[in-house]
Structure 1
């Protein structure tokens, strides 16, 4: 029992509520087995009356600021239901769920002598869904997401950047949460980069020290679009590393279905139309697809249209892919996508002769 008492004291000194909770429950379990059920019950009652997963809004509102600019250096968001609706490739979904399970089964792991650092590094293309994954993990664990603001962290005052990093880790250490380091390469660049200043190289050392001492009971997630820029020592600090890439056809279809769920449309029940939409979204990120459908749905509301049409989606895709285009190019695209000449005249408010002449010269 001495080990549990020592760990509880360590947790108290470090304000690590999760660690206190985990080892106090282990201690109560051992006391129960040794015949001291009364004390065991008192410990469990004390823990249950003060849930470790609850984070007071006061503690969240007193967020750290940069000394020079007085800007807040973190953004804090609470998980919401929409964060639980994600589309992930099976291999990534499995890795993410394994990571969540490490946190969910922390008590069991500790009982068996294992203390695993709950750190995750996400890397891949911009807009691929790294932030979405972080929010999904917050939703599944019920933990607030504390996102470091690197625009405010990097200070012009010598030494302040390292101080800001320490402030963020100390703030996140004090409460059950997920610390999310987005655009991680902004402060985690390789120390052998000849173009970086000496101060920024010292920032890496500060970052590594803070990662090493960060509470094992909390979650640490970092994300970058540029993994090739990261310092080699950074990679060793993360137990789980996941590459986030482009969605395949099935995942793209699931994204489309999610974005228009519950809305009247004329293409989800038409395999040929749906396949054409999916084909035109090939190579696009989840972020691109989300923005695309947000724009489409906004126009539907503004124009008071009852049904979301196949043509609406095609035109938005075409315009998103072609910043400068002619009417002739749009006519060809719509025609090749199965839209009749008569319908094109209605959509574009032009004559049938213009449509036919354009298609003849194609």
Structure 2
């Protein structure tokens, strides 16, 4: 984010300590990434001496200096969504509530000789909320979110890939955060796949060792759309596997309520929930957005049922084309 925008956010958050500290942490992180370490340390010392943590507030965990070794392989992501922006199944809601409670009581658990669940594998088809859930999960924990750049991790010099993975795992071991690895199957593909290169099999061997030995201060979250492609030995390395399925009609109803809660309309979107069963959240969102755009383009104050019906028709056309490509 541009420095000017950060300064405006900092001034606008004055008097709201949790928000003020979050923006200040972003400024300090930028200085660390620019190698202005003396200034970064001074800013952090000033921040720590002038701000406290209000009771019950969710503030970001303090950031350690960002190591040059890991800087090329991950991005810090601003957390802009919250739990009101996602619809989860009852099972997944229970799982995440349990993980959050366990994290907060982590010291008590470790004192009793047990480990805290900290390595999660998200599985499910595209567009069903895995990435969004990782962001909201980090926000609920008060941890910064880092997204691993797999295109940088997988080096054209195959022997370097395992070393690159080691760098990000070392960072996650020291920094309380949620580290998110999307398209995890690109790294953890089954070693008995005849199409894979021997060097990539050695990468999987290294990855298994790293995950086994890692005890992150926050969470390692890996996500895949191709769970059947993962090496069988990967599964037992994760403390929890969370399945993200396509939403049923009831979940789509809740999602439509959320998307249209502040939108003026002359129809009831919930009447379309049954016809949208089998669609992903990403597809339903695209339908909602296109319907709302239609009213803006026509300079109407209300979204009409016809707008929504046309948006569904366009999405079906899109799905039909993608189905032909897959066959």
Q: TM-score range by the shorter chain?
A: 0.7 to 0.9
Cα deviation, 1:296-331, whole Å, max 9, x if unaligned, reads 223333332201111110110011102599xxxxxx
Cα deviation, 1:234-280, whole Å, max 9, x if unaligned, reads 11111111211111111101111111211111223xxxx632x1122
Number of the residue aligned with 1:88: 88
Number of the residue aligned with 1:293: 288
What is the root-mean-square deviation in Å for CA atoms of aligned residues? 2.7
From 56, 65, 72, give the equivalent of 1:59. Answer: 65
Number of the residue aligned with 2:304: 309
Equivalent residue runs for 1:133-172 within 5 Å: 133-172=133-172
**1:162 shift after superposition:** 1.0
Give distance in 2, aligned partners of 1:141 and 1:62: 26
| SS, match of residue 191 in structure 2 | coil
TM-score for both structures, normalised by structure 2: 0.75
Equivalent residue runs for 1:1-362 within 5 Å: 53-56=60-63, 59-60=65-66, 64=70, 72-82=72-82, 84-268=84-268, 274-275=270-271, 277-323=272-318
Alpha carbons of 1:172 and 1:122: their partners in 2 closer, same or farther (altered >3 Å)?
same
Preserved contact between residue 178 and residue 221 of structure 1 (Cα < 8 Å): yes
Give distance in 1, aligned partners of 2:109 and 2:50: 21
| SS, match of residue 322 in structure 1 | helix
**1:47 shift after superposition:** 12
Alpha carbons of 1:90 and 1:117: their partners in 2 closer, same or farther (altered >3 Å)?
closer
Alpha carbons of 1:280 and 1:184: their partners in 2 closer, same or farther (altered >3 Å)?
same
List structure 1 runs of 4+ shifted beyond 6 angstroms. Answer: 46-52
Give distance in 1, aligned partners of 2:150 and 2:248: 32
TM-score for both structures, normalised by structure 1: 0.68
Structure 2 segments unaligned to the other structure (5+ residues):
1-47, 54-58, 321-327
**1:113 shift after superposition:** 2.3
| SS, match of residue 180 in structure 2 | strand
Give distance in 2, aligned partners of 1:122 and 1:307: 38
| SS, match of residue 147 in structure 1 | strand
Give distance in 1, aligned partners of 2:90 and 2:218: 26
Number of the residue aligned with 1:32: none
Alpha carbons of 1:106 and 1:199: their partners in 2 closer, same or farther (altered >3 Å)?
same
| SS, match of residue 159 in structure 1 | helix
Structure 1 segments unaligned to the other structure (5+ residues):
1-45, 66-71, 326-362
Number of the residue aligned with 1:336: none
Alpha carbons of 1:203 and 1:220: their partners in 2 closer, same or farther (altered >3 Å)?
same
Give distance in 2, aligned partners of 1:201 and 1:324: 35
**1:61 shift after superposition:** 8.8
**1:211 shift after superposition:** 1.3
| SS, match of residue 189 in structure 2 | coil
Of 210-219 and 90-99, more deviation after overlay is shown by 210-219
Give distance in 2, aligned partners of 1:187 and 1:147: 15
Give distance in 2, aligned partners of 1:312 and 1:221: 38
Aligned length: 268
**1:101 shift after superposition:** 1.9
Preserved contact between residue 79 and residue 142 of structure 1 (Cα < 8 Å): no
Greater Rg over alpha carbons, structure = 1
